Amino acid sequence: MNYYKRLPISISSPREETEISSSKIDPLYKGNIVHEFTEYYNLSMNPRELLEKLVLSYGLEYDENIEKELMPYINNYLKYHREDYDKIYIEKEFFFKVGEDFVRGKIDRINIKIIRLK
């Protein structure tokens, strides 16, 4: 803790010093759109059509620039997406005790595949 006390305190935040991003989507919207995509997507859907519906649901205009901005996240998800799990838990809350304190949180998704060995 003493290390942090020796660090200089900056009056301005790093966000104020950075240039305006070329991003077309507010980071909060981007995160929410990608998160909702992972919740709703299944193999019977067209990924681009679902993405377009989600973007429009946030009051944004779906265009090539927005698609280019979101598709790296969507493609990364699609690369690992499977539907052959035995159990899926979504938004699973957890908490545990550490010393005298508690750690609490929420896990977005847990996929369980049971493998039977003979």
State how many domains the chain has: 1
Classify residue 110: in a domain, yes or no. Answer: no
| The dihedral sign for the CA sequence 38, 43, 44, 50 | positive
Q: Give the residue carrying structure tokens 């896990």.
A: 107
Cα 88 to Cα 16: distance, rounded to the nearest angstrom: 42
CA-based nearest residue to 41, from 25, 52, 26: 52
For residue range 88-105, what is the model confidence (pLDDT) as tens digits? 898 899 999 999 999 999
Contacts of residue 47, Cβ cutoff 8 Å, sequence gap at least 6 = 37, 41, 74, 78
The residue count of the chain comes to 118
CA-based nearest residue to 81, from 55, 111, 108: 111
Q: What is the model's pTM? A: 0.68
Tell me the residue range of the domain where 40 lies: 23-80
What is the structure's pLDDT at 24? Answer: 78
Cα 4 to Cα 50: distance, rounded to the nearest angstrom: 45
Least confident span in 3-7, 66-70, 106-110: 3-7
Q: What percent of the chain has pLDDT over 90?
A: 63
Res 37 pLDDT > 60: yes
pLDDT-based confidence at 9, cuts 50/70/90?
A: low
Classify residue 65: in a domain, yes or no. Answer: yes
